[in-house]
Amino acid sequence: QSFCFAVRKGDTALLALLNEGLSIVIADGTYRNLQAKWFSTLKTEGPVSRRIVVGVSLNLPPYSFLNDGGQPEGLFVDMTRAIGRMLAIPITFRSGTWQEIRQGLDSGEIDILQSMFYSDERAKTVAFSLPHTPVQYAVVTRRQDPPLSELADLAEKTVLLLNGDVAEEFIRQQAPDARIRYRDTQQQVLERLAAGEADCAVICKISAH
For residue range 154-173, what is the model confidence (pLDDT) as tens digits? 999 999 999 888 899 899 99
**CA distances in angstroms from 171 to 24, 74, 126, 207, listed in the order given:** 29, 28, 22, 19
80-99: average pLDDT: 87
- pLDDT score of 41: 63
d(CA 166, CA 115): 11
Instruction: Assess whether pLDDT exceeds 60 at residue 131.
Output: yes
- pLDDT score of 94: 93
Q: State the pLDDT confidence band at 190, using cuts at 50, 70 and 90.
A: very high
Using the CB atoms, write b or e for 147-159: b if 16+ within 10 Å: ebeebebbeebeb
Beta strands in the chain, from DSSP E residues, in sequence order: 52-57, 65-66, 72-73, 91-96, 112-113, 137-140, 158-162, 179-183, 200-204
Q: Sheet holding 179-183: strands in order across?
A: 137-140, 200-204, 158-162, 179-183
Lowest mean pLDDT, pick from 5-19, 35-49, 151-165, 178-192: 35-49
- pLDDT score of 46: 53
Q: State the pLDDT confidence band at 1, using cuts at 50, 70 and 90.
A: low
End-to-end CA distance of the chain: 45
Query: What letter would DSSP give residue 46?
Result: S
Q: What is the dihedral of CA 198, 114, 58, 182, to 10 degrees?
A: -20
Examine residue 131 and say whether the peptide bond preceding it is cis (omega within 30 degrees of 0): no
d(CA 115, CA 33): 20
168-179: average pLDDT: 93
25-52: average pLDDT: 72
Lowest mean pLDDT, pick from 2-6, 107-111, 163-167, 190-194: 2-6
Instruction: Assess whether pLDDT exceeds 90 at residue 192.
Output: yes
